[in-house]
Chains A and B, each alone.
Chain A
Amino acid sequence: MPNERRVTIFPRMTTPVLHEPSAIALTVNGEQRAIAPGMTLADLLAGLGLDPRLVVIEHNRSILRDRDAYASLALAEGDVLEIVHFVGGG
């Protein structure tokens, strides 16, 4: 199960959330992910090892402009997140 492998990249999640009935399913950069209930966007970024200052996030097609609000944004079932950054290009 690819999802089981991916769950392990969330170091803050101590339980195998996929087997928890309360696990929250969301889509991050086009991939299905499962997170523990109550996680905020700031928690998710920390779990992914991402520096909030270096990424831009779209939450359900709405761009989040205030990085300070990440810590109070509780992620919900079915949320769609796009996390982008700058790469080399012409």
Chain B
Amino acid sequence: MATVLQESLDTPFVIGDREFRSRLMVGTGKYSSNAQMTAAIAASGAEVVTVAVRRVDLDRTSDEGVLHHLDPNRYFLLANTAGCYTSDDAIRYARLARAAGFNEWVKLEVIGDQQTLLPDVVATIDATRVLASEGFKVMAYTNDDLVGALRLQDAGAVCVMPLASPIGSGLGLLNPFAIRAIKHRLSVPVIVDAGVGTASDAALTMEQGVDGILMNTGIAAATDPVRMASAMRLAAEAGRLAYLAGRMPRREVAVPSSPSAGMLGR
């Protein structure tokens, strides 16, 4: 399975000091079964796989943890701080995740509004500063806002993760201009996180020149998640290649593809 572009066609994908195989990262939430989740993740070709930290259900009415189903030798497990509404909470969750012993990476989310799940960028910057000083590799989820992204970079984030549209919305890339502006100005990698609904959204996002893309609901909530995961893999690669290839200029007039000379009878 071609999960990565040939080296000659793409540049290495490096965040912090680590090179990753796939520019598509996926979440593990919302699948109807663990079997479906593992099949979809395999089809996506993703290496980075996000997980959430939650209390163990002491009465065992819900399913056991997700780690039984994800081989740490095959996947790079990335803990998130989803559901945290303060920097203190997010820091606490990040520390708990690191204590699990996988790695020092965290996908930092501090949510600021329950209805839209839009990030609290100020709190995210605060938490980034603290966690970076503790040696965490912070991947910071944020709004599609250049200044917030710059502040996160200054605070020590190893990459910045602006949203395409709100978490779980499937609305696709709402502001390509903002994403391009962020990519253009930041020196750390830019990974678009959240809002991708279908394959064309993923391709369009990657065509903006960003370094990677992270999605969960776009795959998990598809009617056939395994097929959609394959589609997302192809779309992310296609968008990346199209960006590197450089698209033709847009023209508002037609230009013939075939020679105009040599027509019969002229």
Verify if A1 is at the interface (C-beta below 8 Å from B).
no
Instruction: Give B217-232 as 1s and 0s: 1 = Cβ < 8 Å from A's Cβ atoms.
Output: 1000000000000000
Verify if A19 is at the interface (C-beta below 8 Å from B).
no
Footprint of B on A, CB under 8 Å?
6, 9, 28-31, 48-50, 54-56, 58, 63-65, 82-90
Closest chain-B Cβ to A6's Cβ sits at a distance in Å of: 8
Q: Are A56 and B29 in contact (CB under 8 A)?
A: no
Q: Are B99 and A86 in contact (CB under 8 A)?
A: no
Q: Are B53 and A64 in contact (CB under 8 A)?
A: no
* Given A55-B65, A86-B51, A89-B51, 9 more pairs with CB closer than 8 A: A54-B68, A84-B53, A86-B54, A86-B97, A86-B100, A87-B54, A88-B29, A88-B52, A89-B50
Footprint of A on B, CB under 8 Å?
27-31, 37, 50-56, 58-60, 63-68, 77, 79-80, 82, 95-97, 99-100, 167-168, 194, 214-217
User: What are 15 A-B residue pairs whose CB atoms fall within 8 Å in the complex?
Assistant: A56-B53, A56-B97, A63-B96, A82-B96, A83-B55, A85-B67, A88-B66, A89-B29, A90-B27, A90-B28, A90-B52, A90-B80, A90-B168, A90-B214, A90-B217
- Which B residues are in CB contact (< 8 Å) with A90? 27-30, 50, 52, 80, 82, 167-168, 194, 214-217
- Which B residues are in CB contact (< 8 Å) with A49? 60
How long is the Cα–Cα vector from A86 to B29 in the complex, in angstroms? 11
How long is the Cα–Cα vector from A10 to B77 in the complex, in angstroms? 32
- Which A residues are in CB contact (< 8 Å) with B80? 89-90
Q: Are A88 and B56 in contact (CB under 8 A)?
A: no
- Which A residues are in CB contact (< 8 Å) with B59? 6, 9
Instruction: Identify A63's interface contact among B60, B79, B99, B168, CB under 8 A.
Output: B99
Q: Are A63 and B95 in contact (CB under 8 A)?
A: yes
The 7 closest A-B pairs by CB, nearest first: A89-B52, A90-B216, A90-B27, A85-B65, A88-B28, A86-B51, A88-B29
| Most chain B Cβ neighbours within 10 Å, of A30, A50, A89 | A89
- Which A residues are in CB contact (< 8 Å) with B60? 49
- Which A residues are in CB contact (< 8 Å) with B52? 86-90
Closest chain-B Cβ to A30's Cβ sits at a distance in Å of: 7
Instruction: Identify B96's interface contact among A6, A28, A84, CB under 8 A.
Output: A84
How long is the Cα–Cα vector from A48 to B56 in the complex, in angstroms? 10
- Which A residues are in CB contact (< 8 Å) with B28? 88-90
How long is the Cα–Cα vector from A43 to B95 in the complex, in angstroms? 25
- Which B residues are in CB contact (< 8 Å) with A86? 51-54, 65-67, 77, 79, 97, 100
